[in-house]
Amino acid sequence: MTDAPSSTLPTVAVIGAGPAGLMAAERLASAGLRVTVHERMPSVARKFLMAGRGGLNLTHSEPLAPFLNRYNVPARARVAGWLDAFSPADLTAWAEGLGQETFVGSSGRVFPKAMKASPMLRAWLARLEGLGVEIRVRSRWTGWKDGALTFDTPEGERIERPDAVLLALGGASWARLGSDAAWIPALEDAGAFVAPFRPANVGFDVVWSPLFRDRFAGWPLKGVALTHAGRTVRGEAMIAAYGVEGGAIYALSSALRDTVERDGTAKLTIDLRPEQSTETLTRRLSRPRGKDSLSNWLRKAAHLDALAVALLREAGPLPSEPEALAARIKGVTLTLTDVQGLSRAISSAGGVALNAVDDGLMLTARPGVFLAGEMLDWEAPTGGYLLQASFASGVVAANGVIDWLQAR
């Protein structure tokens, strides 16, 4: 394809300029195709830039088997194929190729040394420009008309007939950044089943006492272990005025959300000292308290800060017996009463069913239309897993476009 005059090359419209769409555009342009990216917002990759404010966790360095276990079971086999096409090592090498040196943090997460998304995005857009990719902002896709794509632009309606279409329109979280799921009617009209969107990587409501809420909202709960439905996650959580949020919460949020939706509430157990056994804590708590206040004694004997002590009290009157108190420290139970909505979720579950697309991510009901990113029905926690699968799905969809055009 690359030796043909540009006017005779196949054309591809990529709709959506997030990580999946831009990665697909890069792959398509590198294969010699003429690529136009349409983005309804005034600038590209807004959610990507927002993610970068917290350090831009690109991917994770753990082995592939536990890596894949982070994805929801119905999608895991499909995501495995995506990671075969574009692995965590491939993503790290790609970032390095943009001049963005990376490092592995203590938790195994992979970050750019700049710890921001903006330098990477600038380098990426320069690469796309060099490949001849045209990016049109304020170009909102409105569907199909007589087989052609229609766009609402500042100049009025625009109609295009590319040789292939790749949709990377995002899920339903962070609507103000572009992911508003307004594309659902067009995809349903095209014959795709779209599972209802639900919040993912999201916080949960807890009925705090007014004193606890007013004092500790915004405090981090560090070095804890959270357990729900037999699964335990080590990490950090954050106390919010409405309840709890943070990385360790997000790692369990899929199961917690499902339990709340099914039962009305969910139980979350917090081990405040996961590195110590109940027996060790019992021995420490059996020492004479002396003249210390209870809070000061717990700080010295069990190394609990003010938040941890207050959390123990939220669960009810503190036991006086050392063994019972140690058990409380090892298992504070919170009742989660509701799930925060999509407007507060980092990502979303739901979207176009994976059985509606083939292995190349082409919509089987509409040949020549390919899907990538969060608009597909897969789910993963934060920690690099969301971005990794988004990038990888963009690669797989782009490869699907290339194969389909060559077959024609």
CA 70 – CA 179 distance, rounded (Å): 23
The whole-angstrom separation of Cα 348 and Cα 202 is 9
Residue 18: strand, helix, or coil: coil
DSSP E strands: which ranges in 272-315? Answer: none
For 211-263, write each residue's pLDDT tens digit. 999 999 999 999 999 999 999 999 999 999 999 999 999 999 999 999 999 99
Say if residues 14 and 27 touch (Cβ distance below 8 Å): no
Q: Which residues of 101-132 are buried (b: 16+ CB within 10 A; e: fewer)?
A: ebeeeeeebbbbebebbebbbeebbebbeebe
All structural domains of the chain, each given as residue ranges with its CATH number in brackets, are: 6-199+348-407 (3.50.50.60), 204-339 (no CATH)
CA dihedral 229, 233, 239, 240 (to 10 degrees): -60
| Per-residue confidence (pLDDT) for residue 1, from 0 to 100 | 47
The angle formed by the CA atoms of residues 257, 196 and 23, to the nearest 5 degrees, is 95
pTM exceeds 0.95 for this model: no
C-alpha torsion angle, residues 332, 336, 339, 345 (rounded to 10): -10
Spans in the chain with pLDDT lower than 70: 1-7
CA–CA–CA angle 315, 317, 320 (5° rounding): 120
Distances (CA, A) of 75 to 68, 81, 82, 389: 10, 10, 11, 11
Strand partners, 347: 200
Amino acid in the structure at residue 75 = A
pLDDT of 5 = 52
pLDDT of residue 2: 46
Gap between the Cα atoms of 242 and 334, Å rounded: 13
The pLDDT of residue 175? 86
